[in-house]
Each structure stands twice: as structure tokens, then as C-alpha cells.
């Protein structure tokens, strides 16, 4: 179960009546029913960055009070994936999921950042600082690669935690090649 799925499962008690819908930002739902989860992958990449807050607001406005919107991007075969988890209170976190087996650098995630962050991966922006710290930790952990990519990745993320990055989730997520950081640590700089 991914961290996003864990967030969704905590959002509401299990239900026996589950349905899935396909639609645009207006989120077509039956009257009186609010979605607990909305997944929008590889959708906002086609839009201008200034359109993202409006699209987020539109989708989040349809959510159940305890719901979550997952806005993300992935490569064609799902080996590199990133997403922002949003609740009605606003953005909560940024997650990266990488296939560790042949990972050369976690900076590969930069080209798959959600639209709200992809153009912010420049010096002086928090997301750039995070990715730079992640890559530096990956390089520092290189000697552990003899024990496998998972051990190297776990040491990489543990190093970020030790450096004070607000990493959410634990080692069970790290083993899968994931890392989730609190949104306030990577949100676009004001201005």
C-alpha cells in the first residue's frame, strides 16, 4: 500500500459500497455523495502553472471533508512517480516513488514533478533544496550499494531525517523506494 493509499484508508472507515468515476475537474458525482479520494495523474502537466491552484480548488471542493486529492505525474511505465496529496485544508505532502533496482540518481524525479513544482526546481526554491539534499544523501550512501539498492535508499532517507527534513511515513515506505516530505518544506517560495 502506498502512502497515498494509506492516507486514503485513514480518511474514512471502510465502506461496502465503492464506486469509481471518470471525469474532468468538475468531478461528476451523484447528489449527496462526496468522493473520499480523487486521483489525477498526468493531467495538469498540460496546463500552465498559474492554472493549478484553480484546478486543485475545483477538485478539492468536491471532496468529502476527510478526503484527499492526489495530483501526480509518472513516467510511461511507472518507474518514476511523484505526487502532491491535498486535503480540503490544502496541500499536505510531496511524495516520490522510484524504482530502485537501476536508479542512478533520485534527481530523475525532477522531470516528473507535479506541475505546481516542476518549474520551481531552480536554486533558491525549496523543492530544489530538497532534491539537492536527496541526491547528496544518495551519493554519500553509495558504499551501501553493495548490500543492495534498498539499503542504500533507506540510508539516504534516514540521512534526510537526521538533517531535519520533515519526512513523513517510515521505513516500510522507504523499502519500496518512496519518500514523502511535508508540503511546507517544498512549497514554492513566495514572490
Q: Which three cell numbers stand for residue 130?
A: 530538497
pLDDT (tens place) for every residue of the chain, 191 residues total: 566 566 656 665 665 666 666 666 666 666 677 888 888 888 888 889 999 999 999 889 888 889 999 999 998 888 999 999 999 999 999 999 999 998 999 999 999 999 999 999 999 999 999 999 999 999 999 999 999 999 999 999 999 999 999 999 999 999 999 999 999 999 998 75
Total tally of structural domains belonging to the chain: 1
Assigned domain for 189 exists: no
**What is the pTM (predicted TM-score) of this model?**
0.86
For the stretch 51-57, contacts whose Cβ atoms lie closer than 8 Å and that sit 24 or more positions apart, written own/partner, are 52/115, 52/116, 53/116, 55/25, 56/86, 56/91, 56/116
Assigned domain for 93 exists: yes
Assigned domain for 111 exists: yes
Assigned domain for 191 exists: no
Domain ranges, residue 130 = 3-183
Amino acid at each position: 500500500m502506498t502512502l497515498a493509499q494509506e492516507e486514503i484508508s485513514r480518511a474514512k472507515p471502510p465502506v461496502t459500497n465503492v464506486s469509481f468515476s471518470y471525469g474532468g475537474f468538475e468531478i461528476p458525482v451523484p447528489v449527496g455523495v462526496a468522493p473520499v479520494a480523487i486521483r489525477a495523474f498526468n493531467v495538469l502537466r498540460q496546463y500552465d502553472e498559474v492554472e493549478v491552484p484553480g484546478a486543485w480548488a475545483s477538485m478539492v471542493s468536491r471532496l468529502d471533508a476527510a478526503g484527499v486529492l492526489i495530483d501526480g505525474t509518472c513516467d510511461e511505465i511507472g518507474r518514476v512517480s511523484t505526487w502532491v496529496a491535498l486535503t480540503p485544508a490544502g496541500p499536505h505532502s510531496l511524495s516520490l516513488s522510484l524504482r530502485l533496482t537501476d536508479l542512478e540518481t533520485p534527481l530523475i524525479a525532477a522531470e516528473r514533478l507535479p506541475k505546481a513544482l516542476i518549474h520551481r526546481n531552480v536554486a533558491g526554491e525549496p523543492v530544489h533544496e530538497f532534491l539537492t539534499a536527496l541526491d547528496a544523501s544518495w551519493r554519500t550512501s553509495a558504499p551501501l550499494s553493495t548490500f543492495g539498492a534498498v539499503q542504500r535508499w533507506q540510508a539516504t532517507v534516514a540521512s534526510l531525517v537526521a538533517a531535519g527534513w520533515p519526512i513523513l511515513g517510515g521505513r516500510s515506505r522507504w523499502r519500496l523506494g518512496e519518500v514523502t516530505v511535508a508540503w511546507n518544506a517544498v512549497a514554492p517560495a513566495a514572490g
